Structure 1
Amino acid sequence: MNGPVVDVHAHVLLPGIEAYVAEIDPDGLAAAKDLDARRNGRESSVESGRMIQDRWSLLTDLPTRLAVMDATQVDVQMVSPSPSHYYPFLGPDAALDVALQVNAAIEKLVSRAPDRLVGLGVAPLQHPDQMVPALDDALRRGLRGVEIGSFGASPSGGQAGTVELSDPALDPFWAAAEKARAVVFLHPFGCSLDERLDRFYLANTVSQPAENAVALSHLIFSGVLDRYPDLVVVAAHGGGYLPTTIGRSDHAWRVRPEARGCTHPPSTYLRRLWFDSLTHDGAQLTELIRVAGADRVLLGSDYPFDMGTDDPVAAVRHAGLADDVVQAILVDNAATVLPSLSIGFTKKGFA
């Protein structure tokens, strides 16, 4: 590879933040954990707890992280907080306070390995008026942007009071992110389908790609990407279901007047977004490249969770793609999303 291999989808767990939230809002945290348990079901909740315990050092220990990166030929990770750190139940002041603490924790982690890590903070989507201050704080700390969920959940977990990405209240945030060319990493956590997905781990296998599709559709159909054409939005999980079913969106745009909130057919906007490569299927990755473009796909592992891939570079290399496409996904496209990446970063010498 010519240049550093960059994984844009890698997480860190911040136990100190969780402990702080438990102090300031123990009832809210307990209710959120209960909601998460109901959404996932008992069997999946137990298995997820076991998985986190087994991978604790991968999530919390920097030397372990760097050793795994070396072993998997990843030069640089763009590290984002585990989505469990969104805390949608917090009120406006507490949500901003916690977001700033998350940003500070990510800054501290990145500062310990500045040649291997870049960072993302968080912005509380459930409180649109707090998102610009959170983004500004992340950028002041040298982070590359923020991670957000697919919708701002109400404290009750229901649909009342949700903030969708089409909400006009988010316009100041989109404007600030566009002006700063900040990365907005779209990563769902939770699903409004709730207990319908509480078996067979559907709360992850179905909800994550569904939430990605819904959130991206709100962005596209509402005209957000027309108003802010230079936004840098990176969608996790290959954009979920949307890229492989985009023809239905285009058809709706042609035949339904209420679906004409965007200027162009929805498929057009896939080439204004970025997507990680985490599709778990070479044919689906090929389709993503067909509809979005080889210049719009970035390496993503979902490190270190079990629904990610333990060898992301190999997954891309074994997907049957042309050599120049592999080079674009592993190296080149990250230089567009993170234009100063080559400054201060060195290739580790992987073949």
Structure 2
Amino acid sequence: MYDFHTHFIPEEIMSWVKENKTKVNAKWIEKDASKNTFLEINRKWGFELKDAFIDFSKYSSELKNAGITHAVTSPIPQLFMYDFDPVITTEVSRVYNDALANLSNSNPDIISALGTVPLNSPEQAAELLQDAMNEGLKGAIIGPGISGHMLSDDYFIPFFEEANKLKAIVFIHPLLSEDPRLKRRMMPNLIGVPWETTVCATDLLLSGFTDTYPDIKVLFAHGGGYLPYQLGRLDKGFKQWGAVSTNLKAFPSEYAKLFWYDTVLWNEKSIDYLKKMVGEKQVVPGSDFPFDLSAWPPIQVNKDEISTLFIK
């Protein structure tokens, strides 16, 4: 069994955060309802420091207990640190990548890993991606953009040109939506997270991204958000408006089949629909372990493809 979408925080990163707690506004919070401490960075999106996040023996034993034979692990979005000066983002990215490379190279039968890059400095991001892949990482996990820039903007050309050259995996993972209407009932996570993916995925699709960068394996978290459900609307817009069709050579629904999607949907019928819309070969098993809303263990699909394209 495979799991493409998991997260881990190496000891080196926890040490870096503690050493730089003032620079990144790190805060450890005790909550009565939890036995674990919560970590908050820059007053945003605190998360529970479960043992499986920070203890590799616990992480790997949980994989084994769930029947997972190989997992792809990634840095956590809370530690992308795009809000800070690129010097800080680059430093933490290097520490994270080196630590995950050491971990995956020491445990090649259990895990593969993706790195993180300073998306707020695309030239540096390109350099770190090359370094990470030279160390044995498979690519990088990135957010859906940074403040003021969507991923289709020319601003990110240096990073995507390098990713295309390296035939990297680029796993696009959303951050919490800051829409003020969602500040209640856990909606930033429940619907804000897939909404951020929807906006990013639609923007990349309509920009003709895959024609420009055909060798990047773009994977969208959480089943692509709401994009697969609205492909008919995009196709209608393609026929109706030049602003939709200008950058495309085929219907949006055909371009959607060139991306990859994980199965973090918590519903087999939703996964079946996703496979019908984008093709079974474009869907890979994922869980989002060990976050609270992980789909654990992941539903297995497309095992041969994930083995040959994403792991080996």
TM-score, normalised with respect to structure 1: 0.79
Q: Please give the alpha-carbon distance, in whole angstroms, between the structure 1 residues aligned to 2:64 and 2:23.
A: 41
**Among 273, 289, 292, which residue is 1:306 paired with?**
292
Q: What aligned pairs does 1:136-175 form with structure 2 within 5 A after superposition?
A: 136-153=130-147, 162-175=148-161
Give the C-alpha shift of residue 263 in structure 1. Answer: 2.5
Where 2:145 maps in the other structure, the secondary structure is coil
Give the C-alpha shift of residue 129 in structure 1. Answer: 2.2
Residue 184 in structure 1 maps to residue 170 in structure 2: yes
Q: Please give the alpha-carbon distance, in whole angstroms, between the structure 2 residues aligned to 1:13 and 1:196.
A: 31
**Among 13, 17, 33, which residue is 2:13 paired with?**
17
Aligned length: 299
Give the C-alpha shift of residue 137 in structure 1. Answer: 1.4
Give the C-alpha shift of residue 15 in structure 1. Answer: 5.6
RCO greater where, 1 or 2, for CA within 8 Å and sep 6 or more?
1
Residue 80 in structure 1 maps to residue 88 in structure 2: no
Which structure carries more helix by proportion? 1
Aligned to 1:197: 182
Q: Please give the alpha-carbon distance, in whole angstroms, between the structure 2 residues aligned to 1:203 and 1:13.
A: 23
Q: Alpha carbons of 1:14 and 1:187: their partners in 2 closer, same or farther (altered >3 Å)?
A: same
Q: What aligned pairs does 1:192-341 form with structure 2 within 5 A after superposition?
A: 192-193=178-179, 195-260=180-245, 261-312=247-298, 315-316=299-300, 326=301, 328=302, 331-338=303-310, 341=312
Task: Provide structure 2 residue ranges, at least 5 long, that are not aligned to the other structure.
Answer: 28-39
Where 1:9 maps in the other structure, the secondary structure is strand
Aligned to 1:99: 93
Q: Alpha carbons of 1:264 and 1:25: their partners in 2 closer, same or farther (altered >3 Å)?
A: farther
Task: Provide structure 1 residue ranges, at least 5 long, that are not aligned to the other structure.
Answer: 38-44, 154-161, 317-325, 342-351
Q: Please give the alpha-carbon distance, in whole angstroms, between the structure 2 residues aligned to 1:259 and 1:206.
A: 25
Where 2:68 maps in the other structure, the secondary structure is coil
- Percent identity for Structure 1 against Structure 2: 29
Give the C-alpha shift of residue 108 in structure 1. Answer: 2.2
Which structure carries more strand by proportion? 2
TM-score, normalised with respect to structure 2: 0.89
Give the C-alpha shift of residue 310 in structure 1. Answer: 2.2
Give the C-alpha shift of residue 83 in structure 1. Answer: 1.0
Aligned to 1:321: none
Q: Please give the alpha-carbon distance, in whole angstroms, between the structure 2 residues aligned to 1:64 and 1:22.
A: 22
Q: Please give the alpha-carbon distance, in whole angstroms, between the structure 2 residues aligned to 1:301 and 1:19.
A: 27
Give the C-alpha shift of residue 231 in structure 1. Answer: 1.6
8 A Cα contact 1:25 1:90, kept in partner: no
Q: Alpha carbons of 1:22 and 1:59: their partners in 2 closer, same or farther (altered >3 Å)?
A: closer
Q: Please give the alpha-carbon distance, in whole angstroms, between the structure 2 residues aligned to 1:27 and 1:99.
A: 15
**Structure 1, 73-82 or 225-234: larger mean CA deviation:** 225-234
